Amino acid sequence: MAIRERLSGNEAVSIAIRQVNPDVMAAFPITPSTEIPQFISQYVANGTIDTEFVAVESEHSAMSACMGSQAAGARTVTATSSCGLALMWEMLYVVASARLPLTLCCINRALTGPININNDHSDSMGARDAGWIQIYAENAQEAYDNYIQCVRIGEHKDVQLPVMACQDGFITSHAVENILLLEDAEVKAFVGEYEPEKYLLNEKEAVSMGPYDIANYYMEHKYQQKVALDNAKQVIYDVAAEFEKMSGRKYGMIEEYMMEDAEYAMVIIGSSAGTAKDAVDKMRAEGKKVGLVKVRVYRPFPEEEMVKALSGMKGVVVMDKAEGYSALGGPLGADVKAALFGRTNAVVLNIVYGLGGRDVRVESIEEAYGRLFAAVEAGSVPFGYDYLGLRK
């Protein structure tokens, strides 16, 4: 039976972690993710869960402790944001290469500098090629649902990779919404017990974790990570199908909104998708054939799904909440353009928006569509990319 609650995204994810009851959480506080380890430490102190909470001196130490814990055979979690994720950088690559399926709640925040504590995607986008699976939430409900699925996805025998469960700082993490929770027993049964095949504390088999990888083997190991990410696509669908049977809520790699007869589409990630849906509804009422593709899973990148959804469009505008500092624009824009190259004649624009918490309104989304309409009418795309909501 579903449990109706009013919760913020951070509270919702903390409840998901409590229901999973991991063996270890190692974390260091940083806004806006601080509430998650705070809630978990309270659960530990109250005896609600038997997780071992490890208070460390930095985020680099947090990920190092998580690696040691997961390598020892313990289901391990952490949470961080912004500069905290940046301080973990070295260990993000090490954990992924060691094929350790821990889960990290990334509460997206602008990456310093200049220093800013508000939302954009520069932190997780900067880590997009570290070998982690990345799944993004639009709202608190999805943040809760995603986290539960992330545990299953990463631990699957054909995957064995770490997973970032991402949600927008403050916009999702601190805003209170009505959501539906699952029963504790349902979640525990869904994720099951963690049964690693290889782990350091197995006295019956000696295992080395993180050894020096010489040139004769390094490339093959990187390829194995790629194969695991490829395998994750089907696992994501399979886990989502099981989750739908339990919860009634359907998930995939992407979500299509009003795309059945759309001629113009927007591609977007995170909480801004909710605003964009409102804009699409308004523009549809005005007779404009617009649609939306929300990216839920960014790594592995949903190339086939993206091509199928966008191949018939006259124009596509890709919205990036992170700067890429390249002629191609933001990271999402570069990936979508690469996926569509040679497969569509659509005009493709890339727009950077919302950096450092800059407001994104329905009118902002309408303006982005307006720029797309103009580009399609002109029959050409200007070189480079554009900014939305920039003060001049």
Between CA 34 and CA 125 the distance in angstroms is 20
Amino acid at 122: S
Phi, psi for residue 217 in degrees, rounded to 5:
-125, -25
Question: What pTM, to 2 d.p., does this model score?
Answer: 0.97
CATH number of 3-247: 3.40.50.970
In degrees, to the nearest 5, what angle opens at C-alpha 7 toward C-alphas 85 and 102?
A: 35
Tokens representing residue 8 in the block: 């913020």
- pLDDT means over runs of 10, the chain (392 residues): 94 98 98 98 97 98 98 98 98 98 98 95 98 98 98 98 98 98 98 95 91 95 98 98 98 98 98 98 98 98 98 96 91 96 94 97 98 93 89 84
Q: Do the domains 3-247 and 254-387 sit in the same CATH topology, yes or no?
A: yes
Looking at residue 138, its pLDDT comes to 98
Between CA 392 and CA 379 the distance in angstroms is 27
Between CA 84 and CA 27 the distance in angstroms is 10
On whether the CB atoms of residues 118 and 32 are closer than 8 A, the answer is no
Helices (H), 248-380: 272-285, 303-310, 331-340, 362-378
* Largest distance between two CA atoms of the chain: 69
DSSP state of 110: P
Between CA 10 and CA 58 the distance in angstroms is 20
Per-domain boundaries in the chain: 3-247, 254-387
**What's the topology of domain 254-387?**
Rossmann fold (3.40.50)
Between CA 55 and CA 328 the distance in angstroms is 41
Name residue, tokens 């390249």: 326
3-state SS assignment for residue 183: coil
The closest of 94, 43, 83, 372 to 221, measured between CA atoms, is 94
Query: Residue 386: enclosing H or E segment and its boundaries?
Result: strand 386-387
146-308-257-312 Cα dihedral, nearest 10 degrees: 160
